[in-house]
């Protein structure tokens, strides 16, 4: 399998790559931190990956996306799995007071994945096979006071994925919206951990199963689907009074 990962050094993406490494799969890894990329490449190679190519890039630079994708497809020839896993958890209070911070959060978590998907979709359609998997969040299911800037970015990506899934269905390309809940990772290092937190490896396992089964929208862990169904069901008269 040929695997292309954006945001490859994130905790979840690295865990996904580790699960595929033993099968002698080939990787093209893109991330911002070159040192972390090198370390990940070495770990995957030691674990049995067939070939690991890396590229350092800041994915907020949209103008670089076409060249990044061109290089990846030239190297791999065809791509069986694309995973888009980059993002940040913005400071909600700062975003409420600073429009520039809010727009940056929307760009990183919303517009950047959509820019990549826009460039990737024609190539996936042309090769007529493969999977596009994108990590969004349960936060996108409904805007909550504690993180509605981040949630709105993820909701935008989820809506885009839903439409793209229909566009690519006839071409034999599957599109997966991966919606994790709270994950114990560097991105949430400042948050107090509790029973709702999952490990990156558990989320990675859900992603690998979703790819194998050609799933569409996946909540990981699975019980988040029930939790968010309840959250979506709450009427606004009640929901607006909840501070969470």
**For the chain, what's the residue count?**
244
Say whether 150 is catalytic: yes
Whether 28 contacts 53, CB under 8 Å: yes
Whether 28 contacts 39, CB under 8 Å: no
CA-to-CA dists, residue 221 to 196, 201, 218, angstroms: 9, 11, 9
Query: Residue-wise over 165-189: b if at least 16 C-beta within 10 A, else e?
Result: beebeeeebbbbbbbbbbbbbeeee
Within its chain, how far is the Cα of 209 from the centroid? 15
Longest CA–CA separation in the chain, Å: 55
1/44 Cα distance (integer angstroms): 14
Point out the catalytic residue in the list 20, 28, 148, 150.
Answer: 150
Whether 150 contacts 182, CB under 8 Å: no
Whether 148 contacts 188, CB under 8 Å: no
Question: Active-site residue numbers?
Answer: 150
């Amino acid at each position: 399998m040929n695997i292309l990962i954006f945001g490859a050094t994130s905790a979840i993406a690295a865990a996904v790559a580790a699960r595929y490494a033993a099968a002698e799969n080939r990787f093209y890894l893109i991330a911002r931190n070159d040192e972390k990329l090198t370390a990940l490449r070495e770990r995957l190679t030691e674990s049995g990956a067939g070939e690991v190519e890396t590229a350092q890039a800041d994915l907020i630079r949209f103008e670089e996306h076409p060249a990044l994708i061109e290089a990846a497809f030239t190297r791999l020839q065809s791509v069986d799995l694309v995973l888009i896993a980059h993002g940040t958890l913005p400071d909600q209070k700062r975003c409420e007071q600073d429009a520039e911070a809010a727009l940056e959060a929307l760009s990183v978590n919303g517009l950047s994945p959509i820019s990549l998907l826009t460039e990737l979709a024609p190539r996936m359609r042309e090769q007529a096979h493969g999977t596009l998997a994108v990590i969004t969040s349960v936060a996108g299911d409904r805007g909550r006071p504690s993180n509605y800037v981040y949630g709105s970015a993820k909701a935008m990506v989820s809506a885009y994925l839903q439409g793209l899934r229909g566009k690519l269905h006839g071409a034999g390309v599957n599109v997966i919206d991966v919606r994790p809940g709270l994950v114990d990772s560097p991105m949430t290092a400042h948050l107090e951990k509790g029973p709702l937190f999952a490990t990156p490896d558990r989320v990675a396992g859900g992603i690998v199963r979703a790819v194998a089964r050609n799933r569409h929208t996946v909540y990981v862990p699975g019980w988040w689907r029930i939790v968010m169904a309840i959250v979506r069901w709450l009427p606004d008269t009640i929901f607006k009074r909840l501070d969470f």
